[in-house]
Structure 1
């Protein structure tokens, strides 16, 4: 199994003084995801929770929705000179009767650690293929005060970040603000896939009564993953993209950005926020 962190020599300069030391860095390695033995995708990730990552990726792509849809996930032999396993290739076998998607035949997807799958054409596809429409979820009401407290909880639980400073985090919270699960990865979309994949394997999908919080920005692919997993609220500490806002508005996803301290922007789905304690200021919305 690959290591989450690695050590590298660094030249450190502080106030004009120079010395050399060993620094802890987050590990980044490629993971090839195969479906039924055929290459499907390659993503740059932090090793760990690879089976959950593969399962979550398939949920996001609309391939599986239940633990029973997956017959098996195994590591494949790597291509090292001595024949040892690199643990950088996983193969997912679907259960009998689960249709093999066209994506295995028509494309070989490469995703980086900063961006997953995205594209304007995917907007309508997500809306039509989501198995658990967000608009039909049981009512989830959260207060701005509850949302404001989540980033500190997420940061306090990031164990690897404390050692490296180079990891994104994704956390699942209950509507009461309890941290249910947290995953770290060099790619924020990988961290989300690991959360969703673990939920799939535990038989917990759809995640109707959860809040997804991500470090960094809220891109289209993160909104896509939330919708495909049935998550009604997505919050990010940075900005959303325009396509993420469009997807949230079309699907009923509550999308919150710039969640910093007591400040935040609600870009879509404000109906899930209890704003009774918030004072309105400025011009009324048009």
Structure 2
């Protein structure tokens, strides 16, 4: 059994007839995306618990620490390891990771005020206040020209969808994809939490020594929230595009950061909410 998916027996009910007054009942197995808790420890001390889809856990933790303003360079992360544990059936679990910091990296002063639990649908609700997540970014995105063609940017949702293997099996996960300015996919991650998917992409980039991610586009499968704009900014990503709508606070932050933010990107059109100067439109009559 994959750690990413599990099978469950379900009953499928279908209305039949023109009046919908009859139904068909059938029993079959369905494939579900796995959701499990992951406790993040930093230097041996519990820092947070998030609900996530298992897989690329080290990327998730590394990206989460970038998003918390703790890491910006791979040299600041000395090591990560799974802490031993067993479930009620005596099987080894992989739901606790301890990250060891190096190179002068420090936990934020607000760590003691942080709530322990974070759901898979919210990446900033575990902080004590909005001030605690308004971190100083290590990288500047406003001066990154990052020119991209409108056709390339509009095509990214379809390119993202082509590589969503877990979604194909379950229909129940979000995706985040990192692309270059030609539309080439650099990294794709899936998770039940959209912020986790982004953290996994950012963590991959940190561990590969790619931060800041200048000249890249982050395409996400859902909406663009404040937290996703913040994560992109802290990773040095100049362009964020979402299939759905942004929030007002996301637009405000993108404007302050000098980030291009696009929403309702559906293959042939998109809405631009900030820094549209990076998007090159086709020449008239071309």
Scaled by the length of structure 2, what TM-score is found?
0.91
CA 278–228 in structure 1, closer or farther in 2 if over 3 Å, else same: farther
The residue that corresponds to 2:159 in the other structure is: 153
Residue of 111, 119, 136 corresponding to 1:112 = 119
Structure-1 separation of matches of 2:89 and 2:193: 30
Residue pair 2:47, 2:111 contacting (<8 A) in 1 also: yes
The residue that corresponds to 2:20 in the other structure is: none
Structure-1 separation of matches of 2:164 and 2:113: 38
Q: Where does 1:13-24 land on structure 2 (aligned, <5 Å)? A: 13-14=13-14, 15=16, 16-24=23-31
Structure-1 separation of matches of 2:202 and 2:60: 8
Matched, 1:121 2:127: no
CA 87–81 in structure 1, closer or farther in 2 if over 3 Å, else same: same
Residue pair 1:40, 1:104 contacting (<8 A) in 2 also: yes
Q: Where does 1:25-104 land on structure 2 (aligned, <5 Å)? A: 25-78=32-85, 80-81=87-88, 84-104=91-111
The residue that corresponds to 1:5 in the other structure is: 5
What is the Cα deviation at residue 38 of structure 1? 1.0
Q: Which runs of 5+ in 2 are unaligned?
A: 17-22
Q: How many residues align?
A: 275
What is the Cα deviation at residue 142 of structure 1? 1.2
What is the Cα deviation at residue 122 of structure 1? 5.3
The residue that corresponds to 1:254 in the other structure is: 260
> What is the CA deviation profile of residues 183-217 of structure 1, one whole-angstrom value per residue up to 9, with x for unaligned ones?
00001100000000011011111101110000010
What is the Cα deviation at residue 170 of structure 1? 0.3
Bigger CA drift: 1-10 or 16-25? Answer: 1-10
The residue that corresponds to 2:248 in the other structure is: 242
CA 252–108 in structure 1, closer or farther in 2 if over 3 Å, else same: same
Please, what is the CA RMSD of the aligned residues?
A: 1.9
Q: Where does 1:161-172 land on structure 2 (aligned, <5 Å)? A: 161-172=167-178
Structure-1 separation of matches of 2:190 and 2:88: 30
Structure-1 separation of matches of 2:89 and 2:111: 30
Q: Which runs of 5+ in 1 are unaligned?
A: 280-286
Residue pair 1:39, 1:108 contacting (<8 A) in 2 also: no
CA 278–40 in structure 1, closer or farther in 2 if over 3 Å, else same: farther
> What is the CA deviation profile of residues 158-193 of structure 1, one whole-angstrom value per residue up to 9, with x for unaligned ones?
111111011100000000111111000001100000
Structure-2 separation of matches of 1:120 and 1:222: 14
Residue pair 1:256, 1:268 contacting (<8 A) in 2 also: yes
Structure-1 separation of matches of 2:271 and 2:174: 21
